[in-house]
């Protein structure tokens, strides 16, 4: 470090001495050595510090030598000075006085020298210096003067002009305001070169203006005035000359700058602007794409000049819809109105023409620049109508073909950002300050959707995107309490009309996507609100009076659902597509309204495919019910009607070869959510009635529907098993009775079906099994007696039929019968096995008492003997007599219980006696008639036991079941003739009037007489 310091000191001394002796050769050599030291200092901090410490001495020497008449010395001194005022480590140590000295010397040498290299290096020093801006501000005038001199280039050197422009760009970064204020001085020499015949000058000027664009745009008034004067005098003719030479691109580049630099003065100088506009009139129609692109790029300058907006406070944070809508005067004035229309005219022409895609994109870029320049006023309805809508409509109507794909995507991004009120600031586009729009603007998006759809499937994705984005903003408007009811209703009607129009378009399943998007984006608070009810079109109300209760007014959500379902029916859409949608509706809206609407729609369309829709809805409903709270009566009613649909559907004979499992599984799950099946019984009844009318040999539907009904009834019966068994629960009893009636109808119909479709026995056996469980779970007579009453008749043909060989069905049938007999005996309170209950069981007992299968007859006989066989008094139904006669004579059954074991022999028989009998009674009355006495009581005299005749003994033995009677009838068959115990007949009326009390008296007498023997 010491060596460098010593050498610098020595070099400084030598330069000083050379200054006094004015030695050209030695001084030039010394500056060359200093320049080498400076270059070496970039890698040697110690040397750099030494240079900084010696900056005052060296700058003083250089300030003198740069004006030396010798080119070599001046050039070497300028190079060394340039380094000293450039390097930050040295510049920081330069004082204000030294800076003043340097700047003054540079200004002097630039203005005075005639040496090209010296002038060039002097300007170069200004372009690289990094002096304190405070030092520069004091010399602004002299610096500008020097730069303008260099720009004018009296010496004719392009390098000097280039360095002068570099100096302008440098000073622009250091003292922006001062340079802007003086732009009218240094600007003209730059922009005038835009029309130069020399390409290098044009390019240098273009680059410089681009660099300092932010400094001079918008232009200060002084600069604009100068430009206007130049245009009138020189520039306009120069532009026309360029056009004549075929230099249209260069002419439009210059045109753009001149228009931009005129700025707001264009409004006050329309004559000049009109003259300038004659230039692009010749270039916009040009066939060369590059000329068109240059014209559109230059057109942005006109936007800068004509779009002058009022100043807004915080245009990005506090601006609202009212901010730009209430300030109507800005667009009502003819000035801005005409300016916007003027700007848009050639752009619409270009985008409508068949040009190269690059031309269209350039046009769109200029268009978005206009949107950008309009700031928050881009959201004004006038701008939307005049600027945004026309361009979008032209691009989207052209379509999504190969050439237009980029324009399509470009505009799609623009309208989507507007729909979402989201600013575009992605580097690809100019920043556009979109803000929330009011509901009146929704029509624009509906129009765009309609245009998209006109292109068929290829435009559907874009339509869905814009429709969804716009509805997000619609919902934001709906959530604002300041939006009046009339606007909300108007917008809802617009949405409905849009969907109706889409439903008439040939877009297939895409329409369903539109409805789903509308349902998703708009909240239930609006769609499900009764305040916003809309009248259904007549095309949708047919057969839907029940749904609308005759008023045809429905909520928006119900309208959506009607449109959705109609499209599903009228298209080839997959039924499972609606699964997610229905699930969402059930969970988000009033589930009763949704299910009620769907059910009504299903009943409206009783066509084959509708059963598939029912299956989808049923599965959605099944999942929803799992988390639903306790249902009410209205819910039970609509669910019952929904569950009835498959059976109503099958009654029409519209479905063949159906996989009933798909129906049964959700049907069972849903049924368990309702309290009772009483609503379903008429449906089952009608179904079985219709089914029974079909000739089995002509049944083309298969037995699937009947099997389905069986599975449904099993579910109904199982639901009974899970319910409480509280005594006196009238709802439970009613439901139980209704369920059993359904099962009874099934047994009747399925018995006939087995002849042609034995497969139905699988379901029937499950019915028998479930019925057995039901009766087994019954403990009370209020359950068991109705069970016997309802099941008896349909069970009879099954018990009588000995032909079918389905082993499981036979087993389950036998188990049902045995279980029924047991439960009848164990009921509480005990069932009275009297004549009335016997009449109920008569048909089944007739079939089972003497059944060929012992597994049925034996339990039945045991049941008889322990129940009816223990009764004293019974009226036998006529149909039972043959069976009872046969079994009693065989000794298998008891007909009645005797009240005594034998006749008392101590009692003398009356002179006349008669045993009368009626086959309709279980107690035979024995009337003892005495011609000599009116009656015998227990207090009568004791007599010897009467001797019985042989015939009477035979009858008595028959009564006791020990032998055959005189007519050959077997034991236990208690039937007697009128002369068994009497020698004369008496009237039937006399027998019927005999009091039982007389019999008891006689029996008592007989017992006493017997004990005395």
pTM over 0.95: no
**Which tens digit of pLDDT belongs to each residue from 448-472?**
999 999 988 888 999 999 999 999 9
Structure confidence at residue 25 (pLDDT): 72
* pLDDT more than 70, % of the chain: 81
CA–CA separation, 918 vs 959, rounded Å? 15
Give the integer Cα–Cα distance in Å for 180 and 1004: 145
Q: Which of 99-103, 750-754, 945-949 has the highest mean pLDDT?
A: 99-103
**In the predicted model, what is the mean pLDDT of residues 103-118?**
94
Would you say residue 17 lies in a domain? no
Helices 140-152/183-191 angle, 10° precision: 10
pLDDT tier at 958, thresholds 50, 70, 90: very low
Residue 773 belongs to some domain of the structure: no
Distance between CA 991 and CA 914 in Å, rounded?
Answer: 9
> Which of 437, 460, 489 is the last residue before a domain boundary?
437
Last residue of a domain, one of 412, 437, 462: 437
pLDDT band at 139 (very low <50, low <70, confident <90, very high): very high
Q: Is the peptide bond before 987 cis (omega within 30 degrees of 0)?
A: no
**Shared domain check, 285 and 389:** no
Distance CA 29, CA 14 (A): 11
pLDDT at 627: 64
The 10s digit of each residue's pLDDT in 684-733 is 888 888 888 776 665 555 577 888 889 999 988 888 887 756 666 777 78
pLDDT of residue 327: 54
pLDDT for 758: 87
Residue 983: inside a domain? yes
**In the prediction, which pLDDT does 185 show?**
95
| pLDDT single digits (tens) 60-99 | 999 999 998 889 999 999 999 999 999 999 999 999 999 9
In terms of domains, do 248 and 357 share one? no
Does 317 share its domain with 285? no
Please check the confidence at residue 390 and state whether its pLDDT lies above 90. Answer: yes
Under the banding of pLDDT at 50, 70 and 90, the label for residue 291 is very high
pLDDT at 693: 79
Higher pLDDT, 949 or 4: 4
pLDDT of res. 537? 87
293 and 385 part of one domain: no
Asked whether the predicted pLDDT for residue 748 surpasses 70, the reply is: yes
Average pLDDT over residues 943-964: 46
Please give the backbone phi and psi of residue 375, each rounded to the nearest 5 degrees, phi first.
55, -135
Count of CA atoms in the C-beta half-sphere (13 A) of 819: 19
- Residues constituting the chain: 1013
Q: What is the mean pLDDT of residues 176-191?
A: 95
Domain end: 437, 462, 495, which one?
437
Residues 826-850: pLDDT tens digits?
988 899 999 999 999 999 999 999 9
Q: Give residue 726's pLDDT.
A: 62
Question: Is residue 315 located within the same domain as residue 432?
Answer: yes
Quick count: other Cβ atoms within 10 Å of Cβ 268? Answer: 12
Please check whether residues 334 and 417 belong to one and the same domain: yes
Please check whether residues 302 and 365 belong to one and the same domain.
no
* pLDDT > 70? residue 198: yes
Q: 731 — phi, psi (to 5°)?
A: -65, -45
Q: Which residue has the higher pLDDT, 13 or 858?
A: 858
Residue 754 pLDDT class (50, 70, 90 cuts): confident
Residue-wise pLDDT for 11-26, tens only, equals 888 887 765 555 667 7
Rounded to an integer, the average pLDDT of 310-333 is 55
Residue 721 within any structural domain of the chain: no
Residue 447 in any domain: the answer is no
Structural domain of residue 992, as residue ranges?
912-1012
pLDDT at 266 over 90: no
> Tens digits of per-residue pLDDT, 34-57?
999 999 888 888 888 989 988 999
- In this structure, of 129-138, 588-597, 947-956, the range with the lowest mean pLDDT score is 947-956
Domain shared by 187 and 294, yes or no: yes
For position 924, what pLDDT does the model report?
Answer: 37
> Is residue 270 one of the residues assigned to a domain?
yes
pLDDT value at 912 more than 70? no
pLDDT of residue 29: 87
Say if 584 falls within a structural domain. Answer: no
**Structural contact between residues 625 and 592, judged by C-beta atoms closer than 8 angstroms:** no
Q: Is 510 left (phi over 0), alpha (psi -120 to 50) or beta?
A: alpha
Report how far residue 136's alpha carbon sits from residue 127's, in angstroms, rounded to the nearest whole number: 12
SS3 269: coil
- Average pLDDT (279-301) is 94
Domain-embedded: residue 192 = yes
Banded pLDDT at 634 (limits 50, 70, 90): confident
> What percentage of the chain reaches a pLDDT higher than 90?
53
Residue 277 clears pLDDT 80, i.e. is over it: yes
Mean residue pLDDT across the chain? 83
What is the arithmetic mean of pLDDT over 330-346? 85
Shared domain for 329 and 386, answered yes or no, is yes
Are 247 and 198 in contact by the 8 Å Cβ rule? The answer is no
Position 691 scores a pLDDT of 82
One domain, residues 375 and 272: no
For residue 1013, pLDDT beyond 80:
no
Q: Please tell me whether residues 319 and 301 are part of one structural domain.
A: no
Residues 936 and 1003 in one domain: yes
Averaged pLDDT for residues 375-394: 94
Crossing angle between the packed helical segments 158-174 and 199-211, to the nearest 10 degrees: 0
Cα atoms in the Cβ-side hemisphere of radius 13 Å centred on 851: 25
- How many domains does one find in the chain? 3
The burial of 332, by beta-carbon neighbours within 10 Å (0-12 exposed, 13-18 middle, 19 or more buried), is given as exposed
The helices-and-strands tally (H runs, E runs) of the chain is: 53, 4
Point out the least confidently predicted range of 648-652, 763-767, 791-795, 813-817.
648-652
């Amino acid at each position: 470090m010491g060596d460098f310091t010593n050498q610098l000191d020595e070099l400084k001394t030598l330069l000083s001495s050379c200054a006094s002796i004015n030695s050209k050769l030695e001084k030039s050599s010394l500056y060359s050595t200093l320049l080498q030291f400076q270059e070496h200092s970039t890698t040697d901090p110690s040397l750099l510090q030494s240079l900084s410490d010696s900056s005052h001495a060296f700058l003083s020497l250089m300030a003198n030598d740069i004006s030396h008449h010798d080119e070599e010395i001046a050039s070497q001194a300028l190079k060394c000075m340039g380094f000293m005022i450039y390097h930050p480590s040295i510049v920081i140590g330069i004082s204000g006085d030294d800076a003043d000295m340097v700047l003054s010397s540079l200004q002097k040498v630039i203005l005075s020298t005639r040496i090209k290299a010296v002038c060039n290096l002097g300007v170069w020093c200004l372009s690289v210096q990094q002096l304190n801006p405070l030092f520069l501000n004091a010399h602004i005038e002299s610096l500008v003067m020097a730069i303008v001199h260099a720009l004018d280039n009296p010496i004719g050197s392009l390098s000097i002009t280039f360095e002068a422009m570099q100096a302008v760009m440098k000073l622009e970064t250091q003292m922006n305001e001062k340079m802007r204020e003086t732009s009218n001085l240094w600007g003209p020499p730059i922009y005038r070169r835009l029309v130069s015949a020399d390409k290098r000058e044009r390019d240098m000027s273009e680059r410089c203006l681009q660099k300092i664009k932010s400094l001079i745009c918008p232009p200060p008034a002084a600069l604009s005035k100068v430009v206007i004067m130049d245009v009138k005098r020189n520039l306009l003719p120069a532009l026309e000359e360029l056009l004549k030479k075929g230099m249209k691109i260069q002419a439009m580049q210059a045109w753009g700058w001149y228009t931009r630099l005129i700025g707001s003065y264009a409004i006050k100088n329309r004559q000049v602007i009109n003259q300038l506009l004659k230039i692009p009139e010749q270039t916009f129609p040009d066939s060369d794409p590059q000329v068109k692109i240059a014209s559109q790029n230059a057109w942005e300058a006109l936007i800068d000049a004509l779009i002058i907006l009022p100043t807004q406070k915080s245009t990005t944070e506090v601006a609202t819809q009212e901010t730009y809508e209430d300030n109507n005067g800005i667009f009502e004035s003819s000035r801005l109105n005409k300016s916007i229309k003027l700007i848009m005219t050639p752009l619409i022409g270009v985008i409508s023409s068949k040009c190269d895609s690059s031309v269209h994109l350039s046009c769109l870029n200029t268009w978005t620049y206009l949107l950008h320049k309009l700031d928050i006023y881009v959201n004004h309805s006038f701008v939307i109508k005049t600027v945004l809508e026309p361009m979008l409509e032209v691009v989207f109507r052209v379509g999504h073909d190969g050439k237009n794909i980029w324009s399509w995507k470009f505009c799609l991004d623009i309208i989507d950002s507007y729909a979402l009120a989201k600013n575009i600031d992605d580097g690809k586009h100019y920043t556009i300050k979109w803000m929330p729009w009011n509901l009146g603007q929704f029509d624009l998006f509906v129009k765009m959707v309609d245009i998209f759809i006109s292109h068929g499937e290829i435009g559907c994705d874009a339509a869905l995107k814009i429709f969804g984005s716009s509805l997000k903003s619609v919902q934001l408007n709906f959530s604002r309490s300041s939006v009046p009811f009339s606007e909300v209703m108007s917008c809802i009607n617009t949405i409905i009309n849009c969907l109706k129009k889409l439903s008439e378009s040939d877009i297939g399943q895409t329409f369903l996507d539109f409805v789903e998007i509308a349902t998703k984006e708009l909240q239930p608070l609006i769609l499900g609100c009764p305040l916003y009810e809309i009248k259904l079109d007549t095309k949708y109300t047919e057969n839907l009076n029940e749904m609308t209760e005759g008023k045809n007014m429905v909520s928006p959500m119900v309208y959506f659902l009607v449109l959705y379902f109609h499209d599903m029916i009228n298209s080839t859409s997959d039924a499972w597509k609606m699964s997610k949608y229905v699930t969402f509706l059930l969970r988000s809206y009033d589930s009763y309204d949704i299910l009620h609407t769907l059910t009504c729609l299903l009943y409206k369309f009783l066509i084959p495919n509708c059963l598939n829709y029912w299956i989808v809805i049923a599965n959605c409903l099944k999942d929803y019910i799992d988390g639903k709270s306790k249902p009410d009566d209205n819910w039970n009613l609509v669910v019952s009607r929904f569950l009835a649909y498959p059976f109503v559907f099958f009654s029409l004979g519209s479905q063949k070869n159906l996989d009933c499992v798909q129906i049964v599984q959700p049907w069972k799950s849903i049924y368990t959510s309702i309290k009772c099946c009483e609503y379903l019984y008429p449906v089952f009844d009608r179904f079985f009635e219709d089914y029974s009318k079909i000739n089995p040999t002509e049944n083309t539907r298969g037995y699937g529907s009947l099997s389905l009904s069986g599975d449904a009834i099993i579910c109904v019966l199982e639901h009974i098993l899970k319910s409480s068994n509280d005594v006196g629960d009238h709802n439970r009893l009613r439901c139980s009775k209704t369920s059993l009636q359904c099962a009874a109808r099934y047994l009747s119909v399925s018995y006939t079906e087995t002849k042609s479709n034995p497969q139905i026995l699988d379901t029937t056996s499950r019915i028998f099994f479930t019925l057995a469980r039901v009766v087994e779970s019954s403990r009370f007579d209020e359950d068991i007696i109705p069970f016997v009453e309802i099941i008896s008749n349909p069970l009879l043909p099954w018990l009588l039929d000995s032909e079918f060989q389905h082993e499981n069905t036979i087993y389950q049938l036998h188990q049902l019968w045995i279980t029924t007999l047991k439960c009848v005996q164990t009921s509480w309170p005990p069932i009275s096995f009297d004549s009335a209950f016997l009449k109920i069981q008569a048909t089944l007992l007739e079939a089972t008492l003497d059944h060929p299968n012992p597994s049925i007859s034996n339990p039945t006989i045991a049941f008889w003997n322990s129940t009816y066989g223990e009764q004293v008094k019974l009226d036998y139904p006529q149909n039972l007599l043959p069976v009872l006669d046969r079994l009693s004579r065989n000794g298998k059954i008891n007909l009645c219980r005797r009240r005594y074991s034998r006749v008392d022999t101590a009692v003398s028989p009356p002179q006349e006696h008669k045993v009368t009998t009626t086959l309709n009674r279980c107690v035979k009355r024995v009337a003892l008639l005495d011609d000599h006495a009116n009656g015998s009581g227990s207090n009568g005299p004791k007599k010897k036991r009467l001797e019985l005749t042989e015939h009477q003994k035979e009858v008595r033995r028959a009564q006791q079941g020990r032998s055959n009677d005189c007519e050959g009838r077997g034991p236990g068959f208690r039937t007697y003739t009128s002369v068994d115990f009497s020698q004369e007949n008496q009237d039937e009326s006399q027998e019927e009037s005999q009091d039982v009390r007389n019999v008891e008296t006689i029996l008592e007498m007989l017992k006493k007489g017997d004990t005395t023997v």
